[in-house]
């Protein structure tokens, strides 16, 4: 598969972005439009166009044909723009209130024109600033149950599911996850960013054969199990929210994989923000962890019982088995994600922001111990409350015993 830009591809600038908006008749008039590029320049251009008369806005997102991930530019398929816009449209079938509206897509230019979410804030940023987003986990639990159940064999039947899975053949982005989440953080790879006070702990992890074995199993399960259409990168940087509203964005890593991966990523990043938080709002973040699972479980159960194409769906024990399997994966993948946020390349912003070295190192080593337990002992977890209990044990420096 080619990773080079197509012949006609050209990056937009603020002027041509406005021209495109006019051409697409997104606004009533062709005048009074202003445009600002608000992307991080790493993977995509993001243009925010607003109409001064009405205050209305739209977003034009354009994929760049490379990613700057380890200092140098690395060519990356423009196909990911198609993955993202198609995934957004599919997720909108199941959970329209939790994804931005897509107005227009152009595969050749790798462009998606979508709803302006500037009234909301990225949750990762909000969490680092002390926000709690009281409805976040209820919304994300609903989103997860509806999109993951909705795209599974149980809801779609195998034929339609297999067809949909073809559309989300996404090898380049899957490979990034396989490397940066599942492989490099568990070995002494040059891409890892381990701060000096943690080198001993990192060495210990990298020679922990039990951790490597269970990490390898999670990796293989990620690579081979086509359970549902995943967002594929559902950390708190992929969620916009306010106190009332929640929108999941950026599903360019979408592919058919294990259901627990999406849930695990949300839980891991919320746990890291909770660990970073020292005031009494920590409890509210921990509540998100139990609540997201409980909401997911309730809605998944309801969908399973009311809209299921599998002949054996009502066999006693089958739904319980599925939920326990998903929980086990959720815990394991939360562990993989936390591990990479401590010793891998991309860290948790709110933990890195802690200036007090002892405090920061304590949090990171608690997170690493917790991550190890999640990976190695994932099958012991029977409830989301136990996830929170394990965090409290890790933070207090006592042995994690679920």
User: Cα 36 to the chain's mean position, in Å?
Assistant: 26
Q: How many CB atoms sit inside 10 A of residue 39's CB?
A: 15
CB 340 within 8 A of CB 383: no
Judge contact between 152 and 227, C-beta under 8 A: yes
Tokens 């044990």 locate to 393
The pattern of x and - marking residues 101 through 140 that bind its own copies according to CB under 8 A reads: ----------------------------------------
Whole-number minimum distance, CB 323 to its own copies, in Å? 13
- As a whole number of angstroms, the distance between CA 131 and CA 124 comes to 9
CB atoms within 10 A of CB 362: 16
Given the rule CB under 8 A, which of 63-71, 137-145, 178-186, 330-338 is the region that contacts its own copies?
178-186
Residue entry with tokens 């029977």: 382
Q: Mask of contacts with its own copies, 5-44, x by CB under 8 A? A: ----------------------------------------
Token pair for residue 323? 């939920």
Residue with tokens 């660990």: 275
Which residue in this structure is represented by tokens 């991080």?
40
Q: Using CA atoms, how far apart are residues 254 and 251, in angstroms rounded to an integer? A: 5
Q: Which residues contact 61 (CB under 8 A, 6 or more apart)?
A: 39, 44, 45, 46, 47, 81, 84, 111, 112, 113, 114
Q: How far is the CB of 155 from its own copies (least distance, A)?
A: 13
Using alpha carbons only, how large is the chain's radius of gyration in Å? 21
Residue 159, marked binder: no
Based on CB atoms, which residue is closest to its own copies, 223 or 361?
223
Residue 224 or 306 with smaller CB distance to its own copies: 224
Helix, strand, or coil (residue 60): strand
- Is residue 175 part of the contact set for its own copies (CB under 8 A)? yes
Residue 117 assigned to a binding site: yes
CB 120 within 8 A of CB 345: no
Among 24, 164, 176, 212, binds its own copies (CB under 8 A): 212
Q: Which of 162, 204, 244, 283 binds its own copies (CB under 8 A)?
A: 162
Nearest-angstrom CA–CA distance, 95 and 103 = 17
- Is 72 annotated among the ligand-binding residues? no
| Binding mask of the shown chain, residues 316 to 355, with x at each position contacting its own copies by CB under 8 A | xxx--x----------------------------------
Residue 340 marked ligand-binding: yes
HSE-up of residue 298 (Cα within 13 Å, Cβ side): 13
**60 pairs with which residues across the strands?**
47, 113
Does residue number 315 form part of the binding site for its own copies (CB under 8 A)? yes
Kindly identify the residues of this chain, within the stretch 213-272, that bind its own copies according to CB under 8 A. 213, 215-217, 219-220, 223-227
Question: Minimum distance from CB of 109 to its own copies (Å)?
Answer: 25
Contact between 254 and 233 under an 8 Å Cβ cutoff? The reply is: no
The dihedral built from the CA positions of residue 56, 62, 68 and 72, taken in this order, carries a sign that is negative
Q: Is 71 in the site for its own copies (CB under 8 A)?
A: no
Candidate list 71, 72, 129, 166; residue touching its own copies; CB under 8 A: 166
Residue 171 found at the interface with its own copies (CB under 8 A): yes
Binding-site size for its own copies (CB under 8 A) equals: 36
Stretch that binds its own copies, among 12-20, 22-30, 157-165, 270-278 (CB under 8 A): 157-165
Looking at the Cβ atoms of 30 and 160, the one nearer to its own copies is 160
List, as residue ranges, the binding site for ATP: 44, 61, 115-117, 250-252
Which residues make up the interface to its own copies (CB under 8 A)? 1, 153, 158-159, 162-163, 166, 169, 171, 174-175, 178, 183, 186-187, 209, 212-213, 215-217, 219-220, 223-227, 310-312, 315-318, 321
Q: Which residue numbers belong to the known binding site for substrate? A: 233, 340
């Amino acid at each position: 598969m080619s990773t080079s830009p197509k012949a006609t591809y050209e990056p937009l600038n603020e002027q041509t972005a406005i021209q495109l908006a006019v051409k697409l008749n997104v606004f009533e008039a062709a005048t009074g439009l202003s445009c600002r590029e608000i992307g991080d320049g790493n993977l995509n251009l993001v243009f925010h166009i607003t109409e001064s008369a009405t205050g209305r806005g739209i977003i034009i997102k354009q994929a760049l044909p490379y990613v700057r991930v380890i200092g140098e530019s690395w060519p990356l398929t423009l196909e990911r723009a198609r993955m993202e816009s198609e995934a957004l449209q599919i997720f909108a079938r199941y959970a329209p209130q939790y994804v931005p509206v897509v107005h227009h897509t152009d595969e050749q230019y790798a462009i998606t024109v979508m709803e302006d979410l500037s009234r909301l804030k990225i949750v990762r940023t909000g969490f680092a600033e002390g926000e709690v987003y009281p409805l976040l986990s209820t919304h994300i639990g609903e989103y997860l149950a509806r999109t993951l159940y909705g795209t599974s064999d149980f809801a779609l039947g195998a034929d339609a599911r297999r067809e949909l899975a073809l559309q989300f053949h996404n090898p380049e982005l899957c490979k990034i996850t396989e490397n940066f989440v599942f492989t490099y953080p568990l070995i002494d790879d040059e891409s890892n960013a381990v701060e000096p006070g943690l080198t001993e702990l990192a060495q210990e992890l990298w020679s922990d054969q039990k951790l490597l074995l269970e990490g390898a199993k999670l990796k293989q399960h990620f690579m081979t199990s086509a359970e549902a259409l995943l967002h594929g990168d559902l950390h708190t940087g992929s969620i916009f929210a306010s106190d009332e509203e929640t929108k999941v964005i950026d599903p360019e890593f979408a592919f058919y994989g294990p259901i627990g991966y999406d849930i695990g990523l949300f839980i891991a990043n919320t746990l890291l923000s909770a660990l970073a938080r020292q005031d009494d709002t920590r409890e509210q973040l921990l509540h998100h962890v139990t609540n997201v699972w409980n909401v997911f479980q309730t809605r998944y159960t309801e969908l399973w019982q009311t809209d299921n194409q599998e002949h054996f769906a009502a066999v006693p024990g089958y739904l319980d088995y599925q939920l326990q399997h998903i929980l086990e994966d959720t815990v394991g993948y939360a562990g993989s994600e936390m591990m990479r946020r401590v010793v891998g390349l991309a860290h948790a912003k709110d933990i890195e922001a802690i200036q007090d070295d002892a405090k920061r190192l304590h949090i990171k080593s608690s997170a690493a111990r917790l991550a190890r337990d999640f990976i190695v002992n994932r099958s012991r977890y029977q409830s989301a409350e136990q996830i929170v209990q394990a965090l409290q044990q890790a933070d207090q420096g006592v042995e994690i015993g679920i």
